[in-house]
Chains A and B, each alone.
Chain A
Amino acid sequence: MEHESVPLYWRNIPSYYRLAARRCRKCGEVYYPPVVKCPRCGSSELEDFQLPHEGELVEFTVLRSVPTDYMKQKPLVIGLVKLGPVKVLGQIVDAAPEKLKAGQRMEVVFRRVVVDGKYGLVMYGYKFRPRP
């Protein structure tokens, strides 16, 4: 599978690693992934906004046919988690899908997301798991 290039991954590190979002200074809307221009009001004055590292599971799905990068992690559980003002899509780990329930508390964890073969870069980022 085609991986994200090293420079692009590097530029995205603040948002991948610690969920750094952007908030529009004019209308207050928060964006994750971050944007450079507010799609709602058109302003390009945006500031950093740190998403909380705990939230609520909105919904989730279980993928049994997965992209090649995730072949060894089947089934892949993908969920939408409400973190403060936004809903963030991400992988759910450390939990059997049959035990997940919409509305439950989730925490953000730091994990390996894509490993570029035996010699390439290990790309890290956020995932979710039920809060113990």
Chain B
Amino acid sequence: MKAGIVSWGAYIPKYRIRTEDIAATWGDDPARIVDIYLVYEKSVEGYDEDAVTIATEAARRALRRGAVDPKRIGAVYSGTESKPYAVKPISSILIDALGLANNVFAVDMEFACKAASDGIVAIAGLVESGRVEYGLAVGTDTSQGEPGEHLDYSASSGGVAYVIGRDGVAAEFETIYTYNSDTPDFWRREGSPYPMHGEGFTGEPAYFRHVVGAAKGLMERHGYKVSDFAYAVFHQPNGRFPMRAASMLGFPPDKVKPGIVVTHIGNTYNASALMGLARVLEQAKPGDKILLVTFGSGAGSNAFVLNVTDAVLERQKADVPKVDEMIADKIYIDYAMYLKNRKMVKLFE
């Protein structure tokens, strides 16, 4: 039997900043900025939150939703580009924060926003080979952009965690396909506080080439049609890119919109497409097929076909906050508080 998603958990920090407040600080026209990115507000971590604490909350919820015994987790892989330590893995801290056994494979993975989905691919392999019973794939970020620069309008904070296994699967991985290349669309050198991106270079040669390349490659190789899918979920650096990728692939908007969360929480990087997937799983029906396409700059995409099973109904009933509830549960902050929470003012701490 194939591996699949047994359970999932998501975490969105409570704080939000409105796009118009960022625009007002930097002298941009708020209406124009909202129109460019289709991001109305974005999530901001609390002063005492980071990629480790966000990962912990998401993972605790994933374990709780599926009533999974933490001692049965055989691998924990965290995808992130905002590790609090340059050297010391988030996954190591998760072992004790979650009460996992010490006989657990643990590593952090990096491929911009795509790494968490590579964690899913790796764990699905470990599960299907029989080396582990369950694995935990985590996507967590407190991603930053240079204040006043494009990314300041979208880079946000959030996390997701997926328990992968063969027992109690709520969404089976039917097929996985990948498309990667060397594309210098976005990078951050060691010691640099903010990433750089190739101006005007992030769209066609990066996002669209890889997202559409992975989706098309998967559909052609395995003979899928758009009509096979109930939902399509794409990486979402802004509100416009996933809609355009969908239209390039021939997906109607109503199959894509349920998986779009960037408009109200911003781009949570490694949790971006996977947060959209969590929202879709919270409303999907048994028998639904979902196309999931992640993207990471550098650049590459992983495409997955998920088959929703009867077990999804049980998971949907669990007493765990839903993505929509977290989107609605918010505290607005101003730009000064935003800079403080994100440690973008120089402090001795």
Contact = CB atoms under 8 A, between A and B. Distances in A.
Interface of A: 13-14, 17-18, 53, 72-73, 93-94, 109-113, 115, 117-118, 122, 124, 127, 132
A122 B84 contact: yes
Contacts of B349: 72, 115, 117-118
Contact of A110 (B57, B325, B331, B348): B57
Nearest to B347: A72
29 contacts: A13-B96, A17-B96, A17-B97, A18-B97, A18-B98, A18-B99, A53-B60, A72-B340, A72-B349, A94-B14, A109-B57, A110-B56, A110-B57, A110-B60, A110-B97, A111-B46, A111-B48, A111-B53, A112-B49, A112-B53, A113-B48, A115-B349, A122-B52, A122-B85, A124-B52, A124-B53, A132-B321, A132-B326, A132-B329
B325 A132 contact: yes
A109 B11 CA distance: 11
A-B CB proximity, top 4 nearest: A110-B56, A111-B48, A112-B48, A17-B97
Contact of A18 (B52, B53, B96): B96
A94 B331 contact: yes
Contacts of B56: 110
A119 B111 CA distance: 25
Interface residues on chain B, size class:
20 to 34
A18 B53 CA distance: 12
A131 B48 CA distance: 18
Contact of A72 (B47, B84, B93, B99): B47
Interface of B: 14, 46-50, 52-53, 56-57, 60, 84-85, 93, 96-99, 321, 325-326, 329, 331, 340, 347-349
Given A13-B96, A17-B97, A132-B325, A73 B47 contact: yes
A109 B50 CA distance: 13
Contacts of B331: 94
B322 to A, nearest CB: 11
Contacts of B60: 53, 110
Given A18-B97, A110-B97, A127-B48, 14 more contacts: A17-B96, A17-B97, A18-B98, A53-B60, A72-B349, A73-B47, A73-B48, A110-B56, A110-B60, A112-B49, A112-B50, A112-B53, A115-B349, A118-B349
Contacts of B329: 132
